[in-house]
Amino acid sequence: MVVTAQDDAWVVGEVYSLTDPSTAWPVLDAYERCSAADPPPHEYERQIVTVLLDGGQTIRAWAYVYCLNTADKARILSGDFLEAKES
């Protein structure tokens, strides 16, 4: 899950270019259960975030950001959920 932070924390992820976002957003929002049809509180919210690509370029991109309380969640210091899951 991605959460916003006040420090220099980062998250490993993938960036996709959508040819027609207007048809993808309803499907993705429904999958993340944050569409207008889903009752609040929503676990995720689609937000524009700054992304650092492998080549060093910075872009703005949409991400689903976790917006519930994280007090009982462990922080993944590496920023890589899949790596942490395997260990």
Is 44 buried (19+), middle (13-18) or exposed (0-12) by CB count in 10 A? buried
Q: Report pLDDT for 1.
A: 61
pLDDT score at 6? 67
pLDDT at 40: 93
pLDDT value at residue 74: 87
Residue 87, pLDDT score: 75
pLDDT at position 51 is: 93
Residues of the chain with pLDDT under 70: 1, 6
